[in-house]
Amino acid sequence: MGIHWKVLIGIILGLIIGFIAGLSDLGVSIIVDYIKPIGTIFIKSLKLIAVPLVFVSLTKGILELKDLKKLSFLGTKTIIWYLTTTVIAVVLGLFLVNIFQPGAGLEFEALKNLSSSTSTIDPTKIVQKGPLDFFVNLVPDNLFSALSDNGRLLQVIFFSVLFSIALLMIPENDQKPVTRFIDSLNKVMLKIVDIIIAASPYAVFALMATLLAEINDPAIFKALLGYSVVLLFGLILMIMLYPIFAKIITGMPIKKFIKGILPAQLVALTTSSSMATLPVTMECVVDNLGIEDEVASFVCPIGATVNMDGTSMMQGIATVFVCQIIGFDLSLMSQLTIVLTATLASIGSAAAPSAGIIMLVMVLESIGFPADKLPFALTIILAVDRPLDMVRTVVNISGDSFVCVVVGSKKQNKLITKS
């Protein structure tokens, strides 16, 4: 049975058991004592793997850009466009969630209790009062302290980038042992992710049962529906923007772009994995969109690793959504932190189903989200994550195809040849 069906069954059983248990104090006690710990272990597992996964995946992604020595223009333009589309996705997501505010206006007692301790939390955990303190705090004074604090993700990313660039600057023979180690470590991390995701149906069951037993109010599910609609609206907008941008930048007909990547989009919808869709994506951009094989072979694999527009948008919308629910105020600088963190964290996001949830933990903690509210936040996001993950993957591979078209256009190829 596919993991998505198992997750769906877990959600349904969790809703049923949680509703029944919520009818009596004994039922709630049983859920809290014997079912809730399963979900707690799952949340702790996500937090356990998040920092090392970001470090290893980001380092590996940058090391794969060693082709910049031969194709510096191509590589630089590829990364710039990937970062640009990711930032656009995050900003669009934040705009929509702030306009529609799907998590605002919940005034039932349970959520008031949930938000009772947020007044003691500094919403600018990393960003301080000084205008340049953000950049000061970007540099860790102790690497091991940064690695031991999930709320200091940006510092871990800073070191990862610095480490990777320095590694690329030393002789290739000296790089090889470290590169092989990073590559093997990345495989181990992804295998751990597989193990954690394999346990997600049981964790979702426990989290949903606990949520319904402790918060037996339909308002939360109405808010969850609002979150899903806002996210889907944002994802559909991104899918529509790619062919328009391709037309403006390269002159490619909108109809040709849409028809050309449709097979890859359908595969992405069913697999929920950018990496699993990669062969089809490359085939579509080469055969249907006329991009040179050399360009597609370089741009698409990097995109499957570092370009997660849909995932980044989800992280931005989900972060603001759960903050709206518990009444956790976000300053402008906190939302700018979300843009930066979600953009950089997407580079370290594994190209596998639901891996974006792991990155969401990091984004939430980077803005000082209350640690005791994290299980609640992830529970309501996980409740609808699987179907939304399918659409997010379509956005991810559509973004990969768009960047491949821009970088591989005839005009760009002429510039590369001249350089």
Q: What total of structural domains would you count in the chain?
A: 1
Q: What is the pLDDT of residue 66?
A: 62
- Is the pLDDT at 257 greater than 90? The verdict is yes
- CA distances to 64, 125, 204, 275, 361 from 182, rounded to whole Å, are 11, 30, 32, 19, 23
Pick the more confident residue, 170 or 419.
170
Confidence bin at 126 (pLDDT 50/70/90): very low
The C-alpha atoms of residue 99 and residue 91 are separated, in whole angstroms, by 12
Q: Which amino acid is at 138?
A: L
Q: What is the pLDDT of residue 224?
A: 82
| Lowest pLDDT segment from 25-39, 142-156, 221-235, 299-313 | 142-156
- Enter the pTM of the model: 0.70
Residue pair 7/204 in contact by the 8 Å Cβ criterion: yes
User: Which candidate, 348, 369, 354, 379, places its Cα nearest to that of 227?
Assistant: 379
User: What is the span of the domain harbouring residue 20?
Assistant: 3-418
Residue pair 359/385 in contact by the 8 Å Cβ criterion: no
* Residues of the chain above pLDDT 90, percent: 20
User: Which candidate, 280, 274, 259, 228, places its Cα nearest to that of 386?
Assistant: 228
- CA distances to 38, 283, 405 from 251, rounded to whole Å, are 53, 21, 10
Residue pair 194/92 in contact by the 8 Å Cβ criterion: no
Residue pair 272/4 in contact by the 8 Å Cβ criterion: yes
- Is the pLDDT at 114 greater than 60? The verdict is no
- The residue written with tokens 């002789």 in the block is 171
- CA distances to 18, 146, 385 from 8, rounded to whole Å, are 15, 36, 10
Q: Considering Cα of 12, then 13, then 15, then 16, what sign does the dihedral take? A: positive
Phi, psi of 137 (to 5 degrees): -75, -10
Residue pair 366/342 in contact by the 8 Å Cβ criterion: no
Summarize the confidence of residues 157-162 as an average pLDDT.
Answer: 82
143: its two tokens: 């690497």
Q: What is the pLDDT of residue 419?
A: 42
The C-alpha atoms of residue 114 and residue 269 are separated, in whole angstroms, by 35
* Residue-wise pLDDT tens digits, 188-201: 887 887 787 788 78
Label residue 68 exposed, middle or buried (CB < 10 Å: 0-12, 13-18, 19+): middle
Q: What is the pLDDT of residue 119?
A: 35
One DSSP character per residue, 257-319 reads HHHHHHHHHHHHHHH--HHHHHHHHHHIIIIIT---HHHHHHHHHHHHHH--HHHHHHHHHHH
The C-alpha atoms of residue 267 and residue 272 are separated, in whole angstroms, by 8
- The residue written with tokens 């302290």 in the block is 145
The C-alpha atoms of residue 326 and residue 364 are separated, in whole angstroms, by 13
Q: What is the pLDDT of residue 211?
A: 73
Summarize the confidence of residues 206-221 as an average pLDDT.
Answer: 74
CATH of the domain at 250: 1.10.3860
Pick the more confident residue, 123 or 415.
415
Confidence bin at 105 (pLDDT 50/70/90): low
The C-alpha atoms of residue 264 and residue 401 are separated, in whole angstroms, by 9
329: its two tokens: 């105020």
> How far is Cα of residue 335 from the mean position of the Cα atoms in its chain?
16
The C-alpha atoms of residue 135 and residue 128 are separated, in whole angstroms, by 10
